[in-house]
A and B are shown apart, each in its own frame.
Chain A
Amino acid sequence: MKHLFEFLLRQGDNALVLGHRTSEWCGVAPALEEDIALANTALDLIGQTQLWLGYAAEVEGKGRSANDLAYLRDVYDFRNILMLEVPNEDFGRTLMRQFLFDAFQVPWLTALCGSSDKRVADFSGKSLKEANYHLDRSAETVIALGNGTEESNTRMQAALDYLWPYAGELFGEDDTDQAMQAAGIAVLPASIRNDWDTKVQGILSDASLRTPKSTFAHFGGRSGFRHTEHLGHMLATMQILQRSYPGAVW
Chain B
Amino acid sequence: MYAQMVKSEATKDDPEQLAAFQARIDAGEKIEPKDWMPEGYRKTLIRQVGQHAHSEIVGQLPEGNWITRAPTLERKANLLAKVQDEAGHGLYLYCAAETLGVSRDEMTQMLLDGRMKYSSIFNYPTLTWADMGAVGWLVDGAAIMNQVPLQRTSYGPYARAMVRVCKEESFHQRQGFHIMMAMVKGTAEQKRMAQDALNRFWYPALMMFGPSDKDSVHSSQSMAWKIKMNTNDELRQKFVDETVPQAEYLGLTIPDEDLTWNEENGQYDFTEPDWNEFFDVISGNGPCNVDRLSARQKAWDDGAWVRDAMNAHAEKKAARKLAAE
Do chains A and B stick together as partners? yes
> A residues touching B (Cβ–Cβ < 8 Å)?
16, 20, 23-24, 26-36, 39-40, 42-43, 46-47, 49-50, 53, 66-67, 70-71, 90-92, 143-145, 147-149, 151-152, 155, 237-238, 240-242, 245, 247-250
**A-contact 0/1 string along B284-325, CB 8 Å cutoff:** 000000000001001100111111111111101000000000
In the A-B complex, the 9 residue pairs with the smallest Cβ-Cβ separation, listed nearest first, are A30-B303, A148-B309, A152-B309, A27-B60, A39-B84, A30-B306, A27-B64, A250-B71, A28-B299
Query: How many residues from B make CB contacts under 8 Å with A?
Result: 52
Q: Which residues of B contact A245 (CB under 8 A)?
A: 187, 189-190
Q: Which residues of B contact A40 (CB under 8 A)?
A: 84
Cα A237 to Cα B88 in complex, Å, equals 27
Across the interface, do B75 and A250 meet the contact criterion of CB distance under 8 Å?
Answer: yes
Cα A53 to Cα B75 in complex, Å, equals 16
Cα A249 to Cα B72 in complex, Å, equals 9
> B residues touching A (Cβ–Cβ < 8 Å)?
57, 60-61, 63-64, 67-77, 80-81, 83-84, 87-88, 90-91, 94, 104, 129, 179, 182-183, 185-187, 189-190, 295, 298-299, 302-314, 316
By beta carbon, the residue of chain B nearest A242 is: B71
The number of residue pairs between A and B whose CB atoms lie closer than 8 Å in the complex comes to 153
By beta carbon, the residue of chain A nearest B308 is: A149
Q: Which residues of B contact A67 (CB under 8 A)?
A: 72-74
Q: Please give the distance in Å from A71's CB to the nearest CB on chain B.
A: 7
Is chain A's binding surface mostly helix, strand, loop or mixed?
A: helix
Across the interface, do A35 and B60 meet the contact criterion of CB distance under 8 Å?
Answer: yes
Contact (A31, B306) CB under 8 Å given A43-B81, A46-B76, A46-B80: yes
Known: A23-B68, A31-B306, A36-B91. 18 other contacts (CB 8 A): A27-B60, A27-B295, A28-B295, A32-B87, A32-B90, A36-B88, A39-B83, A70-B73, A91-B306, A145-B306, A145-B313, A147-B309, A147-B313, A148-B310, A152-B308, A245-B189, A249-B186, A250-B179
What are 30 residue pairs bridging A and B, where the CB atoms are less than 8 Å apart in the complex? A23-B80, A26-B60, A26-B67, A27-B64, A27-B83, A28-B298, A31-B307, A32-B87, A33-B91, A35-B87, A36-B88, A42-B80, A43-B77, A43-B81, A46-B76, A66-B73, A70-B73, A71-B71, A91-B302, A91-B303, A144-B314, A145-B313, A147-B313, A148-B311, A151-B308, A152-B306, A241-B71, A250-B72, A250-B183, A250-B190
Cα A40 to Cα B84 in complex, Å, equals 7
Q: Which residues of B contact A155 (CB under 8 A)?
A: 305
Cα A30 to Cα B311 in complex, Å, equals 13
Q: Please give the distance in Å from B97's CB to the nearest CB on chain A.
A: 13
Q: Please give the distance in Å from B297's CB to the nearest CB on chain A.
A: 11
Q: Which residues of A contact B61 (CB under 8 A)?
A: 27
Q: Which residues of B contact A46 (CB under 8 A)?
A: 73, 76-77, 80
Q: Which residues of B contact A151 (CB under 8 A)?
A: 305, 308-309
Across the interface, do B308 and A148 meet the contact criterion of CB distance under 8 Å?
Answer: yes
Across the interface, do B307 and A237 meet the contact criterion of CB distance under 8 Å?
Answer: no
Question: Which residue of B129, B304, B312 contacts A250 across the interface (Cβ within 8 Å)?
Answer: B129
Cα A143 to Cα B312 in complex, Å, equals 12
Cα A71 to Cα B314 in complex, Å, equals 43
Q: Please give the distance in Å from A16's CB to the nearest CB on chain B.
A: 8
Q: Which residues of B contact A148 (CB under 8 A)?
A: 308-313
Q: Please give the distance in Å from B314's CB to the nearest CB on chain A.
A: 8
